[in-house]
Amino acid sequence: MNVLIVYAHPEPKSFNGAMKDVAIETLTAAGHGVVVSDLYAMGFNPVAGRDDMTSELTDSEFFSLPKEQTAAYDAGTLASDITAEMEKLKRADLVIFQFPVWWFGMPAVLKGWADRVFARGFAYMPGRKYDTGMFKGKLAMVAATTGTSADTYAPDGIDGDILTVLWPIHNGLCRYSGFDVLPPFVAYMPGRVGEDGRKAYLEAYRKRLGELETTPPLFFHPKDDYGPNERLKPGVLARSGVQRNV
165-208, pLDDT tens digit by residue? 999 999 999 999 999 999 999 999 999 999 999 999 999 999 99
Biggest alpha carbon distance in the chain? 59
Residue 36: predicted pLDDT = 98
Give me the residue spans of the domains in the chain.
2-217
Residue 241, pLDDT score: 80
What is the structure's pLDDT at 13? 96
Of 113, 109, 111, 123, which Cα lies nearest the Cα of 69?
123
Which whole number is the average pLDDT over 80-99? 98
- In terms of CATH, what superfamily is 2-217? Flavodoxin domain (3.40.50.360)
The answer to whether 39 and 72 have CB atoms below 8 angstroms apart is: no
Give 44-88 pLDDT, tens digit per residue: 999 999 999 999 999 999 999 999 999 999 999 999 999 999 999
- Give the residue-averaged pLDDT of 219-224: 95
pLDDT at 199: 97
This prediction's pTM: 0.95
